[in-house]
Amino acid sequence: MQNYRWMDNRIKRALGAQFKTSLKGDILVFPYPHPAAHLFHTMWCPPLRIVVVNAQSEDGKVVFDQVVEPWRFVNLPAGNLVLEMDPDTEYTEVLEGILSDTQTRPRIPDGLPVGGTHSSI
């Protein structure tokens, strides 16, 4: 069973998977207050499976699921949850729990810069 860790403050969001050789089955969850497109990078990261979820849709629709090599920029489609994990990590078993936890966790305030982007974006 995979563990998921919330990237819910500036330091966690800034570091993410950087400087790690593997996430060892962990899933990093980057929540955003509103669905929006994002630009992520994999500088100093291992290869990552990046998944974007529009958690505000009825079924928590996955809108992006791709393995991204190190040292890349990737334009992500609109969603309000971004998941990072090792390429062979299966997330579908824990996605329902992540979506459920999203409803009970404190919302990131609109005015807090997250990852260099205003959190309302």
Residue 112 is encoded by which pair of tokens? 């807090």
The one-character DSSP state at 107 is P
Paired sense of beta strands 4-6 and 27-41, if any: parallel
Instruction: Give yes or no for residue 1 having a pLDDT over 50.
Output: no
Query: Which range among 35-39, 55-59, 89-93 shows the weakest confidence by mean pLDDT?
Result: 55-59
Rounded-to-integer distance, Cα 119 and Cα 121, Å:
5
Supply the pTM of this predicted model: 0.83
Structure tokens at 55: 């958690």
Q: How large is the average pLDDT for residues 48-72? A: 90
